[in-house]
Structure 1
């Protein structure tokens, strides 16, 4: 892969990952409620989910889904239902003191945050088809594919890690202005509306 082509790929994924989406919202809401340290588990979960989806796409699962519309629709509905469930959960979430000084006192299981984020990442079959369509644009057929795919996947993961970390740090700063239960309730419900909208858009797309 030439340097010019790599830079085009890098710019493409920076724009893609900087756009608000389920992973961004999950990281932001976790950081606001539990702090930057706990939000790192959502960041790592996003990284793992991305690697899983990219690996499946590289092995041809994305192409398989595009040729099996019934299976694709089933997976899409399941992914949409999961996002809607997250929206309902966010709407019903309890309020608490979410100032940065109280993060250590908040009860939250890191493993649950990690697994929830992985589920968000792998529940949308569009990701499989997206990578199956994206990667060939940056691969040279006359060069070994594995090293090229490794570079593409690791670059995506690194950019994802950096951007979501910035989101998590911003969430911690935002938390100080959401310490009052009323403010936190509004934030939770705003997140709920976004999750519900994302779920609806996935289901109807």
Structure 2
């Protein structure tokens, strides 16, 4: 059953005409997108676990914890902001090369081929 579904999905990708999906191509206002991303990150349990595991390594016992956490948070925020801004600039420059009907069709064909290959590989696996 899973093999047939994977092959069906792969063939479906192959048949797509290359028109960009309307739901994917919507844009929003910058500040709204920022706050949506902030809320998702702030409430992500993996982020909280990361901070709980990462920060204690750099905190000295006996020193003022408020000052240390402030320095760590500001440093982390600045580094993350610079990296994220770099990703945004890179994505903005690359966008013109990876959008459009022709590249969408190529992506659909590659995705379809991979999904069909996964279905065929699953069919050939011996139990």
Provide the TM-score with structure 1 as the length reference.
Answer: 0.37
Could you say if the C-alpha distance between residues 184 and 167 of structure 1 is closer, same or farther in structure 2, counting changes exceeding 3 Å?
farther
Which residues of structure 1 form unaligned runs of 5+?
A: 1-90, 96-105, 191-205
- Higher helix residue share: 1
Q: Which residue number in structure 2 is paired with residue 93 of structure 1? A: 23
- Answer 1 or 2: higher relative contact order, Cα 8 Å, separation at least 6: 2
| Total equivalences in the alignment | 88
Which residues of structure 2 form unaligned runs of 5+?
A: 1-20, 112-127
Return the offset for 1:182: 4.2
User: 1:173 and 1:110 mapped to 2: Cα distance?
Assistant: 17
In the TM superposition, 1:13-52 aligns within 5 A as none
Compute the RMSD of aligned alpha carbons: 2.8
Matched, 1:183 2:113: no
Return the offset for 1:168: 0.9
Provide the TM-score with structure 2 as the length reference.
Answer: 0.56
Could you say if the C-alpha distance between residues 166 and 118 of structure 1 is closer, same or farther in structure 2, counting changes exceeding 3 Å?
same
Q: Which residue number in structure 1 is paired with residue 15 of structure 2? A: none
